[in-house]
Amino acid sequence: MQNTINCKGTLIDFETPKVMGILNITPDSFFDGGKYKNEKEILNQVTKMLADGATFIDVGAYSSRPGAKHITQEEELCRIVTVVKLLIGHFPSILISVDTFRSKVVEACVRAGACIVNDISGGDLDEKMFETIAKLKVPYIVMHMQGNPQTMQQAPTYKNIVTEVFYELSKKVQKLNNLHVHDVIIDVGFGFGKTVAHNFELLKNLDYFQEMNLPVLTGVSRKSMLYKPLGVAPNKALNATTVANTIALQKGTQILRVHDVKEAVEAIKIFNLSQK
């Protein structure tokens, strides 16, 4: 198992699972869209997430919720690069992940100080993504998605979701390895072209993905797979998120991507105690 990744020359060890805090600077994200509209709100939120124990901050400027409005590359760049520079200026040692599927956005953000790329499309929406990652030599989160954010929830279909997702991710990992990209993290893509039943089948079999011998990121925070079965809104799904995160930890996940850092860090602490 690859237990480390290299971020700006620092080895991040996954012997203990890590937390990635979500910073959406979009007006229409499903849970926190429009919350962080100015520098003060952004800095206050990131200060809180870092104090609560986040190892990474994942900055996204393109809403990927089902049916979200498509925005241009220029608008995404305008939103995100300024924020990356702002965070680097205030928190010099911060480890910023950029949530984008566009290689030009990746290049601009890495130049501004970001050090990880989180691509919801796993390279499918930009043919230059993999070669860009290889050139920049940054860790890459390769996620599985069926379709795109505008179409992905229009009747997603699989014969065997676990083996199909595994196969698609393993093909991409091989392509990345052929380009000498070895700091790869895999994400099965909960909620991206999957029904609620598909999502829970993946969660139940998340340990199967340890066979790739790569760190696994799990992103289920406040998603519809949790709040829809309970008949509640996303803002009432924190408890369900903690339960799902705990299951993911039991299945071997190394990174929890969350809106609520404090609760995820606490889940990891209690999980670690249970393993001693």
Residue among 257, 262, 269, 276 flagged as catalytic: 257
- Burial of residue 66 (CB within 10 Å: 0-12, 13-18, 19+) is middle
79 is catalytic: no
223 is catalytic: yes
Residue among 79, 222, 223, 251 flagged as catalytic: 223
Could you give the residue numbers annotated as active site?
Answer: 223, 257
